[in-house]
């Protein structure tokens, strides 16, 4: 997805929550963002992040994607259904939303990495992956804590999802809990540089 298409997505997101998306907001999101950015721009970035989080979960609750699912198999060699061992349900719907979002956001890098819009989209990616689609590493959240974090986020942003089914079907939670019969997970590597995401977190926190 190119930069104009992402601006269209942001405009849709603002419309979905009943907020105006003015030309000034658009200009600020398309401007460079750094520690020296104006307070106005920082406030728009925080607002846009909240709007996009709500838009993401709205699409996830409906099983909607940000792009073509075929890109996932082209990139990683497997479809999500093959990777997670399921073809329906709230978890696979969330996975479709997340992985298409991830790949479409990746299209902005490295050309637009310094724009406020890219920082918003990157921060959302980091928030979602840390709770729902963690990558292997030395720092692990206990499975009970991860389950509760997922429950809280779904209750706040997507209460229409069958939360209990989402949690019970979640193959990542099952794998972390060491349950037998859980399909071995294919590690889908992050396409956005980790260093960039850390920088985004520090700027927005």
| pLDDT tens-place string over residues 51-66 | 999 999 999 999 999 9
CA distance 94 to 52: 15
**CA torsion angle 160 57 198 5 (round to 10):** 180
pTM reported for the whole predicted model: 0.85
Label residue 141 by pLDDT band (50, 70, 90). confident
- For 16: left if phi > 0, alpha if psi spans -120 to 50, otherwise beta; the answer is alpha
Label residue 144 by pLDDT band (50, 70, 90). confident
Share of residues in the chain with pLDDT > 70 (%): 84
Q: What is the mean pLDDT of residues 173-190?
A: 51
Task: Retrieve residue 156's tokens.
Answer: 């706040």
At 60-108, the pLDDT tens digits run: 999 999 999 999 999 999 999 998 989 899 999 999 999 999 999 999 9
């Amino acid at each position: 997805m190119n930069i104009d298409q992402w601006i269209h997505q942001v405009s849709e997101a603002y419309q979905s929550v009943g907020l105006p998306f003015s030309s000034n907001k658009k200009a600020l999101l398309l401007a460079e963002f750094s520690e020296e950015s104006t307070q106005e721009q920082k406030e728009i970035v925080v607002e846009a992040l909240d709007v996009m989080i709500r838009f993401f979960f709205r699409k996830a609750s409906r099983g909607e994607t940000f792009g073509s699912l075929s890109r996932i198999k082209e990139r990683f060699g497997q479809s999500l259904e093959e990777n997670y061992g399921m073809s329906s349900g709230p978890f696979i719907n969330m996975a479709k939303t997340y992985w298409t979002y991830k790949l479409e956001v990746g299209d902005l890098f490295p050309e637009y990495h310094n724009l406020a819009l890219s920082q918003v989209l990157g921060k959302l990616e980091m928030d979602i992956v840390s709770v729902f689609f963690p990558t292997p590493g030395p720092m692990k959240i206990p499975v009970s804590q991860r389950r509760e974090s997922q429950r809280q986020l779904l209750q706040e942003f997507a209460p229409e999802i069958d939360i209990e089914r989402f949690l019970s079907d979640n193959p990542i939670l099952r794998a972390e809990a060491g349950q037998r019969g859980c399909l071995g997970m294919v590690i889908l590597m992050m396409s956005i540089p980790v260093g960039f995401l850390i920088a985004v977190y520090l700027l927005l926190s």
